[in-house]
A and B are shown apart, each in its own frame.
Chain A
Amino acid sequence: MKIAQEAVDRIKEGNGNKINFIWIEANGCAGDIISFLNADEPDALYFLKEMVNLKYSPSLMQAEGERAYEEFLETLNTDFILGVEGSLTNVENGFYDIFAYYKGKTISVAEAVAKAAEKAKHIIAIGTCASFAGISAARPNPTGCTSLSGFLGREVINVPGCPANPLWVMGTVASLVLYNKVEVDDKGRPLMFFKDTNHVNCERRSYFDNKINAQKLGDKECMFKLGCRGPVTKAYCPIGRWNSRINWPVGDNTPCIGCANEYFPDGSEPFVRY
């Protein structure tokens, strides 16, 4: 019986074919992978051990140089989920973001992403820059950056946020791993995190409803007249919060700047108005 059970366990382990994951950092600040390392319950270690096989990540992988690019190429022939942070541009042959130098050739991120996107099982745009072009495409957008879905010409799963909250990314990947799909809204954002605006669950909502304003930053009342973008930003901040669910901007006495908005940052400026 023991042996049979062991065998079953082994088989289970063997059959636990974790899907591969490629995380590409495009034209951005690489803030999303750093934010992701802050994940808590489950944390990044759980992600790496139990959820997926992270095959390629410029920040986290051990290999470097040409070997790293080869690992990327090898993973392309398997089942994998593609996660891209940062926006995409092909201006000047993608000179603004180099993916690899391989055997004398310069490979731009645009090229690598296009290659990977053809073969990926699922594609996630992580962060506002990848989802909606974000800060990389702020006026006047000298590098000609666009969102991932705009660049590829197809719909992808958008997980915006500047950076994307690790909870949102983790939840989306978990849904893909478990159910092979995730419910999205009309802009490709997972409904489980982007259904309500921050305004709906804000702890200062009764101040807003009774039109009681904060006169300056630091007051405890509603900061709408100081420039809070909560009412127009769909995200999960008041509920899931940040940094291991400790707090979020409004809870920490500063207005929401709408970083998960489609038009961030041009559409959110000025962040504070006196």
Chain B
Amino acid sequence: MDKKLRHKQMLEDINYCNKMINLSYCMYAKQYWINLFNKKMEEALKELEAPETKEENKEETKQETAREPEKQFTLEELAQYDGSMGKAAYIAIEGIVYDVSWNSCWGGGTHFGLLAGKELTAEFKKGHMKGIEVLKELPVVGVLK
């Protein structure tokens, strides 16, 4: 869908530039629109040449974590990633390790007094009684061994 919208927008832009070339009286403005038209055409050609599957594949691999080999963490390894001294912040919930380093709620690798680098299933269930909606947005980095 994203791709379709993008292509549609590009086509609209090119048509608009074409229209403005014909409507411009000032030669400088005309030249501006000609340049812009050329630029848009180049972009469109690049878009058509680039294999579409590449971008779609990228999105797919982000969503399907099963494709990539999963990194396994022991509890000791997980404890290294507690967000202190600029390190990344990982937490484990129900066996899956999530990266919360740049999640808005986890400033400094802390959340409501909890520290990252731990297994937090119980606390999660207590604090987020509504469930796993929140977890869907978190990037996954592996599983707990």
User: Which A residues lie at the B interface, using CB under 8 A?
Assistant: 197, 199, 211, 213, 215, 224-232, 255, 263, 266-267, 269-270, 272-274
Contacts and interface: CB of A to CB of B under 8 A. Distances in A.
B86 A225 contact: yes
A267 B106 CA distance: 11
A218 to B, nearest CB: 15
A269 B114 CA distance: 9
Given A213-B86, A274-B84, A231 B104 contact: yes
Nearest to A226: B108
B108 A215 contact: no
A227 B110 contact: yes
Interface residues of B, number: 14
B45 interface: no
A215 B86 contact: yes
A269 B113 CA distance: 5
A211 B85 contact: no
A67 B105 CA distance: 49
A165 B110 CA distance: 26
Contacts of B28: none
B142 interface: no
B102 A273 contact: no
Given A273-B83, A274-B85, A231 B107 contact: yes
Contacts of A213: 86
A228 B102 contact: no
Given A273-B83, A274-B84, A274-B85, A227 B112 contact: no
Given A211-B102, A213-B86, A229 B107 contact: yes
A137 B113 CA distance: 16
- What 6 A-B pairs come out closest when comparing CB atoms? A227-B108, A273-B108, A231-B104, A267-B112, A269-B113, A227-B107
Interface string B34-54: 000000000000000000000
